[in-house]
Structure 1
Amino acid sequence: MKRALLFVLALAACQEEVAQNTAPLPLKPETLGYFCQMNLLEHEGPKGQIHLEGLPGAPLFFSQASDTVAYLRLPEQSHRVLAIYVSDMGAAGASWAEPGADNWIDATTAHFVVQSDAEGGMGAPEVVPFADPAAAAAFAAQHGGSVVGLEAIADATLLAAESPEAEGDADYARRLKSLSGATGG
């Protein structure tokens, strides 16, 4: 018994815990969106990436910031989230079409403009992230909407991005609402 205990303690002492690198990775020509499997550089607007425990060096990338938030709320999501990054549109490239390849900010501290006239990379309504609250407020003043934190983004805002009602798919809309905990349908 003592030998087994000593062996276990020795084995535990020999194993090094290596911290997983969760630094944001820049977008590259081969970067694909998790949901759509399309090249992210071909889509306009803010992007996102999520680093999950047990998947070192391989974050999930998203073609829209709203897709990033939606992923976090999926009941099927099984890995512990270590880091969440979104494009800082206050530090974006030359235009909405070029949001930047490496201007990532922590989504948990970002200021999101919701319900504006902005459309994301897939042509759906977008939540627009900013590091600077003044830049977010200026964007909201020009494009409509309001400024909120990550946790205050309503599920209905994310469901609107899918807009299944516009396509007449009431069953799909009902299933999405039931997944989000929304009522009705």
Structure 2
Amino acid sequence: MRVPFRHAVFLAALALLSACKEDVAQTFKPQEMTPETLGHYCQMNLLEHPGPKAQVFLEGNAAPLFFSQVRDAVAYTRAPEQVAPIVAVYVNDMGAAGATWEEPGKGNWIAADKAFYVVGSARQGGMGAPETVPFSNRERAAAFALVEGGRVLVLADITDAMVLTPVETGAVPEPDDADYLGRLRALPHPAGE
């Protein structure tokens, strides 16, 4: 079988180009929050909300998804509809020097799988739900739990129910929300339904 010269040159060039492709390993370093940083779920400015934050890097994306609560980020990683490969998750170290509930700090991001978490404390996160409070040090986490309540767990010991179960806030629903089902029932229905 004889291959025309043009085809042979094209195939040789294609082989050379594919051999030149270099796989570049992406590094996912934690990003600092800015006044423009928005929470993935709430789409609100994160700097306006208290408590620790989290960021999740997905494969193929250089920018992380930020979360206004660490609990929300853990829930995101476990949600059945989340199918994109997660390559890194970082959380604020609430035991770091200068970290406060109002300002969790800059440059104090730690890998989520290395953190110790206080679950079930009296503290609420930026969106008003119970927070999963991260620390880089077990002793600091235990000291926080002694004051605020809760127990110290590693990420693998936090159950799905702890982060995926809806939270009852006890808030009185707005009048528009309270009669929502009634308004739905009042809508006209197609014949036969």
In the alignment, which residue of structure 1 is the partner of 2:83?
A: 78
Change (3 A) 1:101 1:165: closer
In the alignment, which residue of structure 2 is the partner of 1:115?
A: 120
Letter of the 2:17 partner, please give it. L
Give the counterpart of 1:144 among 140, 149, 157: 149
Q: TM-score, normalised by structure 2?
A: 0.78
In the alignment, which residue of structure 2 is the partner of 1:34?
A: 40
Q: Residue 133 of structure 1: CA displacement?
A: 0.7
Structure 1: gaps of 5 or more residues: 170-185
Q: Is the 8 A contact 1:43 1:122 kept in 2?
A: yes
Cα distance in 2 for partners of 1:73, 1:94 equals 27
| Deviation beyond 4 Å, 4+ runs, structure 1 | 3-9, 164-169
Letter of the 1:155 partner, please give it. D
Q: Is the 8 A contact 2:71 2:163 kept in 1?
A: yes
Superposition RMSD on alpha carbons, in Å?
2.4
Is residue 96 of structure 1 aligned with residue 101 of structure 2?
yes
In the alignment, which residue of structure 2 is the partner of 1:163?
A: 167
Q: Is the 8 A contact 1:90 1:130 kept in 2?
A: yes
Is residue 25 of structure 1 aligned with residue 35 of structure 2?
no
Moved more, 14-23 or 3-12: 3-12
Q: Residue 27 of structure 1: CA displacement?
A: 0.8
Cα distance in 2 for partners of 1:81, 1:128 equals 21
Is residue 52 of structure 1 aligned with residue 66 of structure 2?
no
Q: TM-score, normalised by structure 1?
A: 0.81
Is residue 134 of structure 1 aligned with residue 142 of structure 2?
no
Q: Residue 165 of structure 1: CA displacement?
A: 8.2
Q: Which has the larger radius of gyration?
A: 2
SS of the counterpart of 2:141?
helix
Change (3 A) 1:125 1:92: farther
Q: Residue 86 of structure 1: CA displacement?
A: 0.3
Report the identity percentage: 54
Aligned length: 167
In the alignment, which residue of structure 1 is the partner of 2:185?
A: none
Q: Is the 8 A contact 1:88 1:103 kept in 2?
A: yes
Q: Residue 78 of structure 1: CA displacement?
A: 2.1
Q: Residue 11 of structure 1: CA displacement?
A: 3.0
Change (3 A) 1:6 1:147: farther
Change (3 A) 1:118 1:165: closer
SS of the counterpart of 2:114?
coil
Structure 2: gaps of 5 or more residues: 178-193
Q: Is the 8 A contact 2:54 2:69 kept in 1?
A: yes
Cα distance in 2 for partners of 1:62, 1:7 equals 46
